[in-house]
Every structure is written in C-alpha cells, then in structure tokens.
Amino acid sequence: MHDLPDLNKFVEVRPGLWRCTIIWQVSVGVLVPVATFLVRGDSLEQGSDPAHDWLLVDSGAPMQVDTLLKAIDQVLAHEKDQLRFICITHAHIDHTGATPALLEKYPGAKVVVHEEEKPFICDGESFRSCTSDTWTFSLLKHFSHEADVRIPHERTVTLRDGDQWEFEHVLKFVETPGHTPGSASYLHIPTRSIMVGDAVMNIASMPLWSRIPCISGPLVMSTCHWGNAMKAIDKILSLKDDVDTIFPAHDYNVEGLHIDHVHEFHNPSNRQ
C-alpha cells in the first residue's frame, strides 16, 4: 500500500479534484485507507483565473489531523487560497476528525452536512439512538465509531436534496441515507465523479492493496439501516447519466471505480 500515489498527499485525480489517502490503524493489525478530497470551487469556465475557494469532502480520522493539514497546505499554497466548506459525507469518526482544527485555521469556513446528520456532529447525539433493521447493528452499535467532534451550530450549513448552496454548480449534494441517518454524497459535476463516503466500499481485495475491484456495501456492523443503505446504492446508480466515476472513502484505488463495476456488484438479481 505504500506505493499509493496519493498516500499522505493530495494528487489531482480529475481536473479540479484532488484525492489524499491516509491509512487509519483501527486496531492492531487492522489498517483501513481513508480518502479525503479537495475540490477547486470554480466552474472551470474557459479563460477565467483559477479560483482560490476550496472545498474539502470529509476530514479523516482524529489521529490523521496533522498529516491532513500538511497535505492541504501543499495544495492551498497561494496566499489567497481559502478553505470555504468542509462537506461531510457522514458523522463517523474517520470522516470528521480534522473538522475542528480546520474551522480554527480557516475562520471563514463552514461545514456542509445533511440535516439529519447534524445532531451527531453538533450535539453529541450517539448512533446508539438509531433504530435498525438488522440485529448486527442493534447488537454492535455500542461499538460504533461515534463522531468525536462538537461543531458549533453557526458554523454549519444543513442541506437536503434540492437545497441551494453556494457551490452547487461544482458540487451537488445528494442524500444517500442508510449507513447513517443523514449520509450524503457529493457529485463533482465538471468531472462526473461522485464521492460517496461509505455508501460503497472497495477494500476487501486480497491482498488488501490489490487494485482488483472488490466492491461491497457499507460495513453491516456500523450501518444503521441496511435496507436504506441498499436504496442509497440504487440512487447512486440511477445517476448514471451524470456520473462516470464513484470514489468510495475506503478504497486503495486512486482512480476510483467506474460506475459499471458498481452496477455489476449491485445487480438487484444478485441481491438477497
């Protein structure tokens, strides 16, 4: 895995879209890649100057904060560069860790979050409060990776499908609840790429760092509502006219997954 091109640094994987992967040691011997994404906040209009507004999709695990901040500094190197929004796919600890540090460093930045995810990052609500359709989550939710942050309400922008926001021409907010009540995906419109958080994962290949797609849904043990999580994948696949590439947060493949691969995995006739 140490030959990952974007290990601990942002690499431009599509025009205007950068990916950085940091390895999260969940416990002894359990290593999980966690990708975060930087998006240039312009509309890629011909002839216009590069924008200095930046958007981040997810902010990694708490133990990754220093590495992520250094990686962001390398891209946002111009004195005018500003991080404007931290767009959260969901509140789990490995997707929200650097948010407080980034809000402190960039006083003008705000957090974009689904309305139903906000209590987990602002009010300390626990995922144990979720009712589930699986015994696995009902049993294991006490070990769920809770958010470890408290974001001030005034630093958030809550969205639902169709709500307008400042950079909607670049990054479209797509509700994909199931893994958590307010899970969301972000469609980078100019490059037809969608960042889906944990709605789809690609880490089960053996060896773990192989590039062969081994696609799965989210982890059952940390997924609040499995039926809705499957509907979320249906919804992502229904965007086929606007999407070529799916970028899961947990994936050793820097190029993401072509939507056709996810289609093969998630063929309803293969589903139980």
Region from 91-99, 130-138, 185-193, 264-272 binding Zn ion, contact rule CB under 5 A: 91-99
d(CA 51, CA 29): 42
Give me the least distance between CB of 219 and Zn ion, in Å please.
Answer: 8
Question: Nearer Cβ to Zn ion, position 73 or 143?
Answer: 143
Between residues 94 and 175, which has the closer beta carbon with respect to Zn ion?
A: 94
Question: Judged by CB under 5 A, which of 198, 199, 200, 225 binds Zn ion?
Answer: 198
Query: Which of residues 76 and 229 has its CB atom nearest to Zn ion in the complex?
Result: 229
Q: Which stretch binds Zn ion (CB under 5 A): 78-86, 94-102, 130-138, 225-233?
A: 94-102
Region from 15-23, 36-44, 88-96, 146-154 binding Zn ion, contact rule CB under 5 A? 88-96
- The helix/strand/coil state of 62 is helix
What phi, psi does 17 have (nearest 5°)? Answer: -135, 120
Q: How far is the CB of 209 from Zn ion (least distance, A)?
A: 18
Q: Is 150 exposed, middle or buried (0-12, 13-18, 19+ CB in 10 A)?
A: exposed
Give the C-alpha separation, 122 to 140, whole Å: 23
* Window contacting Zn ion (CB under 5 A); options: 42-50, 58-66, 87-95, 152-160: 87-95
- Which of the stretches 17-25, 48-56, 67-75, 90-98 binds Zn ion when contact is defined by CB under 5 A? 90-98
Residue 94, phi then psi, degrees to nearest 5 = -85, 5
CB of 198 to Zn ion, least distance (A): 4
251 lines the binding site for Zn ion (CB under 5 A): no
| Residue linked to tokens 């089960």 | 204
Binding track, positions 97-136, relative to Zn ion; x by CB under 5 A: ----------------------------------------
DSSP H or E run through 172: strand 171-175
Q: How far is the CB of 197 from Zn ion (least distance, A)?
A: 7
Preceding amide of 213 cis, omega within 30: no
Angle at 161 between CA 157 and CA 166, to 5 degrees: 45
Q: CB atoms < 10 A from the CB of 142, how many?
A: 9
94 binds Zn ion (CB under 5 A): yes
| CB neighbour class for 205 (10 Å; exposed up to 12, middle 13-18, buried from 19) | middle
Contact residues: Zn ion, CB under 5 A: 94, 198
